[in-house]
Amino acid sequence: MYGLVVTFGIAMCALAANASTTIGTTIQTGGQIYASSTVMIAATYGIDTDSAGALNIGTTTATSVIIGSATAKVGIASTSPYVALGVTGTTTATLGNVIGSAGTGISQLTFGTCTLTMPAISASSTAVANCTATGSSNGDKVFVTLPQLPVNIIFTGASSTAANTIQIAEYNTGITGGATTPPAVTVSWLAIH
């Protein structure tokens, strides 16, 4: 009888210890849950809200939110990311993006085409003309691609001088003598803000 009581006591202790470390049902709280170490969730399971609404992570006192390790692949709206951060769909970064550890912030990329009509350019002179580039802003870094120019005309630069405007400069080398009026052309442009 004594042996049966001891065995029963040991079995009850084991069940109590197991029950204190394993939870097989829903935990519901109106407050906060604190963990002194890592919270582990079984593979293929996730964290979600109990009804429609936002899932907030690190919104009160967190100074940074770290998702994944240096080798983890994080997917946003993607179940199979193949790079460090895989995003399916359109993204918006209202405070800008920095590419590379020493890069400069980029808040907007715009691009398109515009029609450039250059005036006559005297020999050994530069002329400028504006091109309507909807979406560009004053001070943007501008890159343009021009189609073939007349043999004596050289593209020398482009800048964004006002909203929706790119100014393009061309130089007449004078090789063919006299003034040259380049034909109107369609210019491809990229503006970085």
* 182 contact partners, CB below 8 Å, separation of at least 6: 118, 121, 149, 150, 153, 170
Residue 79 corresponds to which tokens in the numbers above? 């179940």
Query: Does residue 119 lie within any of the structural domains?
Result: yes
Report the predicted TM-score, pTM, of the whole model to 2 decimal places: 0.61
Residue 16, pLDDT score: 53
Write down the mean pLDDT value for the chain: 83
Q: Percent of the chain, pLDDT > 70?
A: 87
Q: Which domain holds residue 177?
A: 109-192
Tokens 């980029």 locate to 106
Give the number of domains in the chain: 1
The arrangement of strands across the sheet holding 141-145 comes to: 109-116, 185-192, 141-145
Q: How many angstroms separate the CA atoms of 79 and 115, rounded?
A: 44
In sequence order, what DSSP letters do the residues of 20-61 get, joined into one string?
A: HH---S----SS----SSPPP--TT-----SSSS---SS-SS
Q: What is the CATH number of the domain that holds 122?
A: 2.60.40
Which SS3 state, helix, strand or coil, does residue 90 take? coil
Query: Does residue 64 lie within any of the structural domains?
Result: no
* Spatial CA neighbour of 81 closest among 89, 36, 165: 89
Q: Which amino acid is at 102?
A: A
Which value, to the nearest 10 degrees, does the dihedral of the CA atoms of residues 61, 65, 66, 67 take? 120
Query: Does residue 163 lie within any of the structural domains?
Result: yes
Query: Does residue 63 lie within any of the structural domains?
Result: no
**Does residue 161 register a pLDDT over 80?**
yes
**Does residue 165 register a pLDDT over 90?**
yes
Query: Does residue 170 lie within any of the structural domains?
Result: yes
Query: Does residue 58 lie within any of the structural domains?
Result: no
Mean pLDDT comparison of 17-21, 30-34, 142-146, highest-scoring range? 142-146
Least confident residue range of 37-46, 148-157, 170-179: 37-46
Query: Does residue 16 lie within any of the structural domains?
Result: no
Query: Does residue 38 lie within any of the structural domains?
Result: no
